[in-house]
Structure 1
Amino acid sequence: MGDIQARHMILEFLRQHTLAVIATSSRDGRPEAAAIDFSVRDDLAIVFDTFEHTRKFANLSDQSHVALVIGWDNGITIQYEGEAAKVSADDLERYQEAHIKSVPAEREFVEKGAVVFRVEPRWIRYSDYTRTPPDVIELRF
């Protein structure tokens, strides 16, 4: 499968989901995992929001590396590693609008001041365990 075809298949899978588990780590290396609502952009960047009082926000302020797991039902999953950064003030309105369009329940959080983050992918692994042998696709960025 070609890289463009693999990216399209991964994008379509991600667009079928809005819930992920994100893993971050604190300054002293303690891990933290949380369920988040997310949306995905055409370039495979993940968008999510969180409040400043959360552990994940504190962790992201110290360490931008994150890992996510998306889709654990029906035998297909994506592991996703990347770098998270706050969306800039110049891009914030555009990102909020697209994020809310993809995940309408996020409107309440955005309106209450949740901080919007963008995760740039560094590594994505798509695994389909419904097949024998499993289909596994890895992308590196």
Structure 2
Amino acid sequence: MTEAGLYDFIAKRKLAVLASVAKTNSPQSALVGIAVTPDLEIVFDTVKSSRKYPNLISEPACSFVIGWTGEQTVQYEGTAEELGGAELERYKKVYFQAWPDGPARQSWPGIVYFVVRPAWIRYS
């Protein structure tokens, strides 16, 4: 599948399963709301009290499964980075386009935003 095709597939889906690794090396998964950039970067929010937050800070390698209807999925591996500064504002725009209720969550205690940059993607 082309990069444009992957972007279209991911952009049409708002949810993905994120897999991360705890400090104890145990796998952990969570359903997250996502947005995607044209460069196939995935953006999502979470709170610092979640399990995924310390996992991604200590081990930024992570993966997603996106889509499952009709057994069509994108399997995605990449590296997560907590966003801050001007970069945060740029990625929030992408996220809020996909999630118009996102700005209301900015007041949540401990809310943070991550971008995941792809290392490997497969459509199946």
Deviation at 1:96, TM superposition (A): 1.3
Q: How does 1:1-141 map to 2 (within 5 A)?
A: 6-112=2-108, 113-127=110-124
Contact 2:36 2:94 in 1 (8 A): no
Deviation at 1:111, TM superposition (A): 3.4
- Structure 2 CA distance for aligned equivalents of residues 9 and 104 of structure 1: 24
- How many aligned positions are there? 123
User: What percent identity do the matched residue pairs reach?
Assistant: 36
With normalisation by structure 1, the TM-score equals 0.82
- Structure 1 CA distance for aligned equivalents of residues 54 and 60 of structure 2: 10
Matched residue SS, 1:111: coil
RMSD across aligned positions (CA): 1.3
Which one has a bigger Cα radius of gyration? 1
Deviation at 1:45, TM superposition (A): 0.3
Structure 1, gaps ≥5 residues long: 128-141
Contact 2:75 2:123 in 1 (8 A): yes
Structure 2, gaps ≥5 residues long: none
Task: Return structure 1 stretches of 4+ with deviation > 6 angstroms.
Answer: none
Deviations 1:56-89 (A, max 9, x none): 0010111000010000002311000000001131
